[in-house]
Chain A
Amino acid sequence: MRWITSWLRREREDDELAEELRSHLAIEARQRVEAGEDPAEAARAARRLFGSPAFIQETTRETWGWSKLEQLTDDLRFGLRMLRKTPAWTAVICATLALGIGWSTAIFSVAYGVLLAPLPYPRPSQLMALWPSAPKYGYPRFNVSAALWMHWKRRSRLFEGIALTRPIANFNLTGDGPPERLEGARTTADLPQVLSVTRGWRFSATVCGSAGSEATRPSSAVRSH
């Protein structure tokens, strides 16, 4: 609580310090006059002896501990004044900052969604994308064949499961009721198990049997989504 009173008192302290300095100047001048000096000369000599009152007040104020804060507000005020003095330049700076901040935010939110955000499946860090590649022949990446998939599934010890999927695309759903446009991907029937999202999702594997990667059609549970 002491700093509150000290803050409230600081202007009075300031005045008192100024008065103290003035009184000391007067005392010094008076002593010189009494010693026989010319009054004007004595006042000048006293001022010379004391040096700059502003400097003395400044250094004394520093012992009160508020000067850092006051210097900060002074700097802020000075900064604002300079900004107001050059409105065009200020506008350019503000626009640059606004664009810069806006762009970084936008780019980061995209980068986060695409690259950084964990996939919305349980244990996303264990999910991996696999593809065959033959860089020697100019194929850095090509599609998985059904045979290769079955081979992987049989021989792989690294993965709990391997499922195939094609890129997401639009489909027409016709037959039962009015036709509907669906967004989806053709996958193997075990994809929900591999992604551990089996709740409410069930594909029959029978369609899969001989067809390999040419997977399946969603049951009505999916349609309601």
Chain B
Amino acid sequence: MAGTEKLDVLQGTLDLLILQTLQWGPRHGHGIGQSIRAKSGDLLQVEHGSIYPALHRLRREGWIASDWKVSENNQRARYYRLTADGRKQLEREQNRWKLFVKTMARVMRPQE
């Protein structure tokens, strides 16, 4: 790990990351965190202290739902999946994120 730069998850983007991760099928909370880390090439580290509150908040909003299932290695775990509302929310957040990235890029561009 030494020498590798770590990035903090930008405030407000954790919801998007979780919804994005869930669009390819149900996962348990730990799997979501691992998946985000793996996809980011180990650059993004989602703290456990923030992923659980986020999952509960998303569930309360009705964007994800959860069931208890037995995992691949025989461990009971709570699996989260995207709801129909969640899919719409994901699309909204994706658009917002694209706009954000575009806007940031425009602002940061060196003046000609």
Contacts and interface: CB of A to CB of B under 8 A. Distances in A.
B30 interface: yes
Given A24-B28, A26-B75, A17 B52 contact: yes
Contact of B71 (A27, A34, A62, A63): A27
A28 to B, nearest CB: 6
A112 interface: no
Q: Which of A51, A56, A57, A62 has the most CB of B within 10 A?
A: A56
Contacts of A31: 73
Contact of A30 (B31, B47, B75): B75
A60 B30 contact: no
A217 to B, nearest CB: 85
A50 interface: yes
A62 to B, nearest CB: 7
B75 A27 contact: yes
Contact of B76 (A17, A23, A50, A63): A23
A23 B75 contact: yes
A41 interface: no
B56 interface: yes
A139 interface: no
Nearest to A33: B73
B12 interface: no
Contacts of A180: none
Interface string B27-62: 011110000000000000001111011001100100
Give the interface size class of chain A.
20 to 34
Given A28-B30, A63-B57, A23 B77 contact: yes
Contacts of A17: 52, 56
B78 interface: yes
A49 B30 CA distance: 11
Interface in A21-55: 21, 23-24, 26-28, 30-31, 34, 49-51, 55
Contacts of B52: 17, 20-21, 56-57, 59-60
Contact of A24 (B30, B50, B53): B30
Interface of A: 16-17, 19-21, 23-24, 26-28, 30-31, 34, 49-51, 55-57, 59-60, 62-64
Interface of B: 28-31, 47-50, 52-53, 56-57, 60, 71, 73, 75-78
Given A17-B56, A23-B30, 17 more contacts: A19-B76, A19-B78, A20-B52, A20-B77, A23-B71, A24-B29, A27-B71, A27-B75, A30-B75, A31-B73, A51-B47, A51-B49, A55-B49, A60-B52, A60-B56, A63-B56, A63-B57
24 contacts: A19-B76, A19-B78, A20-B29, A20-B77, A21-B52, A23-B28, A23-B78, A27-B28, A27-B71, A27-B73, A27-B75, A28-B30, A30-B75, A49-B48, A51-B47, A51-B48, A55-B49, A56-B52, A59-B49, A59-B50, A59-B52, A60-B53, A63-B56, A63-B60
